[in-house]
């Protein structure tokens, strides 16, 4: 116990030689700035110390990197010297050894097993579920209604992921799972983005109890489905069933624990991040009437009154550009982090074993070197050639390198199908009263309720 307390308050370790960053005497000011606004923190640090700097978050030593070319070198050439960071591994109780937290040969094996089920060819069959459930939601809306956008999109993507992942279409179970996910998110934010990060783990605070209780709820839901599938030996088309029948090169299938870990990882990623992307897309459409009209014109010309499908999404060039711009401004996965397993050098800086590396996606996406007027919403920048010479890693909403998000194609298809289905029937207007405030936790969540007014299209 006392060793843990001592480690948590050991602030005398200096930053590594050759690195820039706040001095140890600025530790308290650094913590204050970080916990007040993490995104602002990274932008201020970059302005003070350049593209690479070192700081200490509580007792954890961090490098931060803003240069896309250094990031590419890090994630591609030095990937063997990295593992998932200490904060991500604090989710091990929730995610187990799913693809987000797994490491080394075990991760490679699981990635190889899971990848075929999430290829563009395989996810085609899920398009109908996405549009059907969106049409169901839209059918309950009325002309002039004001919707709480994040709640609506969370409920919609939750229903979609429950069906496509687990084959479940029961609202009571979906709501129970959704609340458990929300509780884990809120508990994580309190644990790692407030001063609680410095409180030893043996202090059994209420949010820590909530976190563990939520895991038990999710475990019961997922294991119940797995046990039922084992008994039925069915041939459903959901992702869980595809995982269950997949086998590695030695003919081995996933264990129940592996299935649980992959399912809950996909559940978290497929529900939360996609809902946020769609929420921000709708907000930006509501704030920019010209963009809304152009997006609806494209949808009318390509889809008309048909039900949107995967083939349509390949032709929605402007809507895809708009989705990219929304993810540039508001990337749901706002930070990539790793832990260094062996020393290595990049551009004269030694990255030390045991230290963490943070890649602040938000700050990179808002960098004026890569994006003219970076805080201005401008979907056309993705179509006019102005980004053609940007570094490869200047836009990384799905991460990059070997651990590029496995669900990228699934998420993009869902975003385009859901938004196009909504815009077929309604226009949106922003009637949010308060300024948008964001909370960077596991994902970049809006604290401000986003209210949009619906206008039925004739």
At 227-276, the pLDDT tens digits run 888 887 667 788 888 888 888 787 888 899 999 999 888 888 778 899 99
| Mean pLDDT, rounded, for 332-336 | 95
3-state secondary structure of 33: helix
pLDDT of 59-98, one tens digit each?
Answer: 889 999 999 999 999 999 999 999 999 888 888 888 888 8
Taking residue 245's Cβ as centre, other Cβ atoms within 10 Å add up to 10
**169-183, 188-202, 306-320, 393-407 — which is least confidently predicted?**
188-202
pLDDT digits (tens, 9 = 90+) for 139-174: 999 999 999 999 999 999 999 998 998 888 887 888
Question: Looking at the domain assignment, is residue 103 inside a domain?
Answer: no
Q: How is residue 429 annotated by DSSP?
A: E
Q: What value does the mean pLDDT take over residues 119-125?
A: 85
In the predicted structure, residue 217 carries a pLDDT above the cut 70: yes
pLDDT (0 to 100) of residue 384: 96
Cβ density class 274-284: b for 16+ within 10 Å, e for less: bbbbbbbbbbb
Task: Identify the pLDDT of residue 8.
Answer: 45
Element housing 146 (H / E): strand 146-148
In a domain, 38, yes or no: yes
Listed in sequence order, the residues at least 6 apart from 363 whose beta carbon sits closer than 8 Å to its beta carbon are 39, 42, 43, 46, 66
Q: How many residues does the chain have?
A: 458
Q: What is the pLDDT of residue 9?
A: 45
Number of domains the chain contains? 1
- Of 34-38, 125-129, 268-272, 403-407, the one with minimum mean pLDDT is 268-272
In a domain, residue 14? The reply is: yes
**Alpha carbons 136 and 11: distance in angstroms, whole number:** 55
pLDDT band (50, 70, 90) for residue 6:
very low
Q: How many Cβ atoms sit within 10 Å of the Cβ of residue 228? A: 11
User: Is residue 18 predicted with pLDDT exceeding 70?
Assistant: yes
Q: Does residue 47 lie in a domain region?
A: yes
Q: Work out the mean pLDDT of the chain and round it to a whole number.
A: 90
* Cross-strand pairs, 55: 62
Contact indicator for 159, 133 with CB cutoff of 8 Å: yes
Kindly report which listed range (177-191, 254-268, 432-446) carries the lowest average pLDDT score: 177-191
Distance CA 381, CA 402 (A): 28
Domain span at 4: 1-96+334-396
Task: Please give the pLDDT value at position 14.
Answer: 65
The residue with greater pLDDT, 25 or 11, is 25
Q: What pLDDT is recorded for position 234?
A: 64
Q: Does 2 have pLDDT greater than 50?
A: no
> What burial class does residue 256 get, using C-beta atoms within 10 Å of its C-beta: 0-12 exposed, 13-18 middle, 19+ buried?
middle
Q: β-pairing, 356-360 with 60-65?
A: parallel
- pLDDT, position 4: 46
In the block, tokens 């390198």 appear at 401
Q: Residue 25 above 80 pLDDT?
A: yes
Residue 8, domain CATH: 3.30.43.20
Of 161-175, 205-219, 294-308, 430-444, the least confident = 161-175
What is the H or E stretch that residue 65 is in?
A: strand 60-65
The tokens describing 449, both together, are 């309720």
Cβ atoms within 10 A of the Cβ of 332, count? Answer: 24
Q: What is the mean pLDDT of residues 203-219?
A: 89
Which alpha helices (DSSP H) does 303-347 contain, by range? 310-313, 317-329
Q: What is the pLDDT of residue 108?
A: 87
Residue 105 exposed, middle or buried by CB count within 10 Å (0-12, 13-18, 19+)? exposed
Q: Is residue 222 part of a domain?
A: no
């Amino acid at each position: 116990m006392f060793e843990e307390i001592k480690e948590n308050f050991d602030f005398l370790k200096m930053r590594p030689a050759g690195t820039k960053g706040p001095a140890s005497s600025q530790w308290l000011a650094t913590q204050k700035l970080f916990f007040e606004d993490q995104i602002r923190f990274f932008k201020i640090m970059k302005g003070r110390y350049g593209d690479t700097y070192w700081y200490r978050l509580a007792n954890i030593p961090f490098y931060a990197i803003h240069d896309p070319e250094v990031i590419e070198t890090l994630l591609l050439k030095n990937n063997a010297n990295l593992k998932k960071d200490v904060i991500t591994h604090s989710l091990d109780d929730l995610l187990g050894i799913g693809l987000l937290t797994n490491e080394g040969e075990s991760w490679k094996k699981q990635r190889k097993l899971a990848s075929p089920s999430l290829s563009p060819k395989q996810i085609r069959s899920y398009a109908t579920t996405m549009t059907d459930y969106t049409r169901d939601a839209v059918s309950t809306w009325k002309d002039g209604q004001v919707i709480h956008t994040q709640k609506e999109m969370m409920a919609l993507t939750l229903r979609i992921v429950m069906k496509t992942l687990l084959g479940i279409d029961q609202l009571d179970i979906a709501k129970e799972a959704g609340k458990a996910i929300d509780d884990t998110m809120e508990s994580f934010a309190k644990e790692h983005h407030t001063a609680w990060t410095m409180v030893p783990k043996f202090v059994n605070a209420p949010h820590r109890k909530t976190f563990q209780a939520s895991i038990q709820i999710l475990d019961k839901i997922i294991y119940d489905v797995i046990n039922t599938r084992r008994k039925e030996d069915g041939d459903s088309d959901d992702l869980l069933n595809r995982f269950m029948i997949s086998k590695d090169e030695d003919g081995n299938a996933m264990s129940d624990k592996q299935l649980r870990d992959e399912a809950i990882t996909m559940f978290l990623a497929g529900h939360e991040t996609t809902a946020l992307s769609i929420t921000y897309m709708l907000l930006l459409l509501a704030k920019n009437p010209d963009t809304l009209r152009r997006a609806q014109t494209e949808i009318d010309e390509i889809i008309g009154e048909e039900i949107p499908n995967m083939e349509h999404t390949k032709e929605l060039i402007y809507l895809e550009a708009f989705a990219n711009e929304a993810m540039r401004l508001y990337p749901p996965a706002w930070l990539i982090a790793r832990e260094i397993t062996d020393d290595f050098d990049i551009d004269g800086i030694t990255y030390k074993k045991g230290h963490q590396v943070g890649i602040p996606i938000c700050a990179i996406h808002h960098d004026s070197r890569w994006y003219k007027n970076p805080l201005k919403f401008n979907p056309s920048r993705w179509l006019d050639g102005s980004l053609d010479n940007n570094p490869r890693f200047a836009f990384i909403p799905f991460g990059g390198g070997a651990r590029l998000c496995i669900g990228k194609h699934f998420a993009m298809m869902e975003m385009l199908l859901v938004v196009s289905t909504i815009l077929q029937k309604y226009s949106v207007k922003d009637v949010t009263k308060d300024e948008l405030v964001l909370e960077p936790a596991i994902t970049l969540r809006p604290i401000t309720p986003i209210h949009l007014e619906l206008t039925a299209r004739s």
